[in-house]
């Protein structure tokens, strides 16, 4: 197995009496294409929130490149290379597409606290933002307000903002959620073209996406790891088929 | 990398900056021709209405105060109804120093007022900005009420309810005296101060910092997720906003030559909020339009119907809230865009 990028040890999160995430040991390899699947309420999004530091863990550890980052706040983890997208769009809706990505790139480059020169003077930030928009095929709408875009392309902006942080680890929370199936291919194409060295963890309900994209799969049920393995192993696992894949055929999506 | 490859990379770099969206962002901060208009209008007002310069001074100070609120509320989305706390801090700083004969030089007086208000903004901001929404709103009102009560109770220094009358303010540049009957100096001095503060704010809102403030306003959760030190940014913004409000308050005390509790009241805080909403927030010039419209309405409605002029203002505000959510400027922008779109079609 290749080098380890992100790891959790006995990671747990309680909400009062509810144990949303229960002692998860998880390993994300460098350059991984790893899918996290599981029925509704399995704790997948909570798990991602623990990885990014949006929620503090109740127990356990998160390690990035072997270093314990459990105590680090969200902003510090971003600086260390963990970026995410949200299941529901979290965009700067009133701003243009370019400004959305500018904010993220400026933050990474340390330009965002500068007060005494215009934002337009940072041509390095603008250039990189435009480059990302080009890669994600958003350049034609760069000047448009995000809220005016169709939902599928808004999802791409979500991805562009995360890519602006130049992450080592990218956590995608149902990147195609809510996108009409006619448009979903643009998201999947974009995900397939992500740079190889980025370790990607993707939460996904749509098994077609998982089969197309993932090399390894972790199945979560009721806050715990139910099964883990390569795509083939998971596909062949009768228990997984029983609890999850069978349901997914019914076209359920949501988490 | 070979020369050919690096020159190709350079070309690609340049091409991306030539994209219309990139060019728009690069040029966003440039002065546009119409931005001269408010200042030209202010000069014309000075020449055309020498009898109304007291009114004009009040107008300029209201604009500055509304600009300070626009930074916090319009750009960073900090919901506050306590902006008068800083206006009052600035006013009382100037008032106390002048009344007790410690400091009467006006320009440095404003700097001290800004500093005092900034300190209040920083200290209260460190606590307040841990909250949001209605809690934040209530806490901003509480801060202001605390200061108002403090000013009331420190009667020996502040004159309590009666305030501090007849402040001795030294001439501007040691030459131009403040004459209460002919407020020419007050007007031009205020105009200069507003211009300087405006240029500072304009630089700020077009900077990367200003862009990150709009990010905080538009989506807090996402701002955290891109690794932004959100709380620090908000506290810095709130402190600067407080300092500008402090300058406005100091200016008010200097040009009126008195201070009283009204500078710290909820009335003043609510008025400046109405001014900003009327004009349109998050666009700087809304403060200008809002202040002009509000004070003009107040002036004329009070003449027509002295006892219930606020009724007219209320009706006007309801209309704005219903039909022009982004204020008068927002409405104007929408109409202008509609006009351009219709012209572009055939």
pLDDT digits (tens, 9 = 90+) for A25-44: 999 999 999 999 988 888 99
The C-alpha of B250 sits at a distance from chain A's nearest C-alpha, in angstroms, of 25
Query: Which among B13, B27, B211 has CB closest to A102?
Result: B211
Q: Which two tokens stand for residue B323?
A: 């039909």
The Cα A228–Cα A242 span in angstroms is 15
Any domain includes A230: yes
Q: What is the DSSP letter of B131?
A: S
Contacts of B22 in chain A (CB under 8 A): 98, 126-127, 130, 142
Any domain includes A96: no
Q: Give me the count of residues in chain A.
A: 255
- Residues B141-170 have a mean pLDDT of 92
CB within 8 Å of A43: residues ≥ 6 apart: A13, A20, A21, A22, A220, A222, A223
Distance of CA A85 to the CA centre of its chain: 5
- Residues B209-229 have a mean pLDDT of 96
Instruction: Break chain B into its structural domains and give their ranges.
Output: 48-265
CA closest to B27 among chain A residues: A120
- B199 reaches A (C-beta below 8 A): no
Residue B162 has pLDDT above 50, yes or no: yes
The C-alpha of A108 sits at a distance from chain B's nearest C-alpha, in angstroms, of 8
B17–A127 CB contact, under 8 Å: yes
Residue A71 belongs to a domain with what CATH number?
3.40.50.300
pLDDT in tens, chain A (255 residues): 468 899 999 999 999 999 999 999 999 999 999 999 988 888 999 999 999 999 999 999 999 999 999 999 999 999 999 999 999 999 999 999 999 999 999 999 999 999 999 999 999 999 999 999 999 999 999 999 999 999 999 999 999 999 999 999 999 999 988 888 888 888 889 999 999 999 999 998 888 888 888 999 999 999 999 999 999 998 888 888 887 655 544 444 444
Q: Which two tokens stand for residue B33?
A: 């021709």
CA atoms within 13 A on the CB side of A222: 2
Query: Which among A83, A130, A164 has CB closest to B22?
Result: A130
Q: What is the DSSP letter of A18?
A: E
Query: Which among A119, A139, A161 has CB closest to B226?
Result: A161
A113–B206 CB contact, under 8 Å: no
- A118 reaches B (C-beta below 8 A): yes
Q: Which of B219, B226, B283, B325 to mutate to test the interface with A (most CBs of A within 10 A)?
A: B226
**Residues paired with residue B259 on neighbouring β-strands, in sequence order:** B164
A74–B225 CB contact, under 8 Å: yes
Any domain includes A138: no
Any domain includes A196: yes
The Cα A72–Cα A68 span in angstroms is 9
B25–A119 CB contact, under 8 Å: yes
List the domain range (segments joined by +) for residue A186: 4-81+167-249
CA closest to B282 among chain A residues: A94
Q: Which of A76, A85, A103, A139 to mutate to test the interface with B (most CBs of B within 10 A)?
A: A103
Any domain includes A141: no
pTM: 0.92
CB within 8 Å of A216: residues ≥ 6 apart: A29, A32, A33, A34, A35, A228, A229, A230, A231
Number of domains composing chain A: 1
- A92 reaches B (C-beta below 8 A): yes
Contacts of B222 in chain A (CB under 8 A): 86, 90-92, 161
Query: Any idea which residue has 């204020």 for tokens?
Result: B327
- A94 reaches B (C-beta below 8 A): yes
């Amino acid at each position: 197995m290749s080098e380890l990028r992100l790891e959790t040890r006995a990671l747990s999160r309680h909400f009062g009496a509810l144990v949303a995430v229960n002692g998860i040991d998880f390993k994300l390899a460098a350059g991984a294409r790893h899918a996290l699947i599981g029925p509704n309420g399995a704790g997948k999004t909570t798990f991602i929130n623990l990885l990014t530091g949006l929620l503090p863990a109740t127990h356990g550890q998160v390690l990035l490149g072997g270093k314990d980052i459990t105590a680090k706040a969200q902003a510090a983890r971003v600086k260390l290379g963990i970026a995410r997208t949200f299941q529901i769009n979290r965009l700067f809706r009133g701003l243009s597409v370019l400004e959305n990505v500018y904010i993220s790139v400026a933050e990474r480059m340390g330009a965002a606290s500068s007060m005494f020169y215009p934002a337009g003077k940072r041509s390095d930030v603008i250039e990189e933002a435009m480059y990302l928009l080009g890669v994600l095929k958003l350049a034609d709408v760069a000047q448009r307000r995000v809220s005016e875009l169709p939902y599928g392309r808004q999802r791409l902006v979500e991805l562009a903002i995360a890519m602006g942080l130049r992450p080592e680890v990218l956590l995608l929370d149902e990147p195609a959620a809510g996108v009409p199936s006619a448009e979903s291919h643009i998201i999947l194409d974009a995900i397939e073209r992500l740079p190889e060295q980025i370790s990607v963890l993707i939460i996904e309900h749509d098994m077609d996406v998982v089969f197309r994209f993932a090399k390894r799969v972790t199945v979560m049920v009721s806050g715990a790891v139910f099964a883990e393995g390569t795509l083939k192993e998971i596909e062949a696992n009768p228990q997984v088929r029983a609890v999850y894949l069978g349901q997914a055929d019914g076209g359920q999506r949501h988490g | 990398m070979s020369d050919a490859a690096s020159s190709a990379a350079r070309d690609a770099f340049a091409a991306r900056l030539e994209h219309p969206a990139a060019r728009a962002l690069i040029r966003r901060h440039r002065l546009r021709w119409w931005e001269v208009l408010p200042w030209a209008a202010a000069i014309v007002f000075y020449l055309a209405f020498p009898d109304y310069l007291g009114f004009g001074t009040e107008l300029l100070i209201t604009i500055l105060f509304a600009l300070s609120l626009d930074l916090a509320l319009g750009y960073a989305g900090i919901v506050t109804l306590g902006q008068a706390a800083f206006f009052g801090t600035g006013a009382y700083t100037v008032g106390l120093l002048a009344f007790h004969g410690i400091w009467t030089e006006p320009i440095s007086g404003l700097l001290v007022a800004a500093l005092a208000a900034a300190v209040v903004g920083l200290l209260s901001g460190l606590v307040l900005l841990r909250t949001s929404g209605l809690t934040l709103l209530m806490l901003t009102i509480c801060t202001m009420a605390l200061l108002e009560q403090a000013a009331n109770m420190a009667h020996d220094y502040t004159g309590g309810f009666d305030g501090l009358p007849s402040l001795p303010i030294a001439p501007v540049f040691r030459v131009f005296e403040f004459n209460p009957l002919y407020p020419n100096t007050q007007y031009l001095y205020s105009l200069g101060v507003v211009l300087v503060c405006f240029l500072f704010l304009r630089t700020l809102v077009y900077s990367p910092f200003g862009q990150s403030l709009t990010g905080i306003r538009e989506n807090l959760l996402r701002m955290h997720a891109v690794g932004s030190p959100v709380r620090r940014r908000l506290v810095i913004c709130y402190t600067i906003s407080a300092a500008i409000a402090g300058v406005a308050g100091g200016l008010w005390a200097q040009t009126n030559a008195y201070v009283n509790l009204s500078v710290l009241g909820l009335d003043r805080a609510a008025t400046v909020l109405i001014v900003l909403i009327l004009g349109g927030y998050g666009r700087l010039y809304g403060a200008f339009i809002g202040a002009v419209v509000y004070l003009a309405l107040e002036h004329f409605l009070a003449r027509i119907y002295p006892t219930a002029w606020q009724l007219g203002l209320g009706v006007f505000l309801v209309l704005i809230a219903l039909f022009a959510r982004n204020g008068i400027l927002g409405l104007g922008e929408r109409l202008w865009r509609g006009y351009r779109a219709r012209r572009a079609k055939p």
